[in-house]
Amino acid sequence: MFHRFRVGAMNATVVSDGPLILPAAPHIFKGPDAEVVNAAVVAAGQDIAHVRVEQNCLLLETGTHKILFDNGLGSEKLYGPDSGRLLASLSEAGIDPAAIDALVLTHGHSDHCWGTMSDAGTPNFPNATIYMSQEELDFWESDPPSERLERSVAGVARHLLPLRERIVFVRDGEEFLTGVQAWLTPGHTPGHMAYLFAGNWCLTGDVAFHDPLSYAFPEAHSAYDTDREQGAETRKRLLARLADERIAVIGYHHPWPGLGRVERAGGSYRFLAGPL
Does residue 171 contact residue 203 with C-beta atoms inside 8 Å? no
Position 206 contacts Zn ion (CB under 5 A): yes
CA angle 183, 155, 169 (to 5 degrees): 30
Closest CA to 259 of 239, 240, 274: 274
Shortest reach from residue 199's CB to Zn ion, in Å: 26
Does residue 58 contact residue 3 with C-beta atoms inside 8 Å? no
CA distance 184 to 234: 9
Minimum CB distance to Zn ion smaller for 136 or for 206: 206
- Of the residues 54, 111, 135, 225, which one makes contact with Zn ion according to CB under 5 A: 111
**How many residues belong to the site for Zn ion (CB under 5 A)?**
2
For the chain, give the number of residues.
276
Minimum CB distance to Zn ion smaller for 135 or for 206: 206
Site string for Zn ion, 162-201 (x = CB under 5 A): ----------------------------------------
- Name residues contacting Zn ion, limited to 46-85 (CB under 5 A): none
Torsions phi, psi for 22 (to 5 deg): -115, 170
Minimum CB distance to Zn ion smaller for 62 or for 106: 106
Minimum CB distance to Zn ion smaller for 108 or for 179: 108
Amino acid of residue 273:
A
Enumerate binding residues for Zn ion (CB under 5 A).
Answer: 111, 206
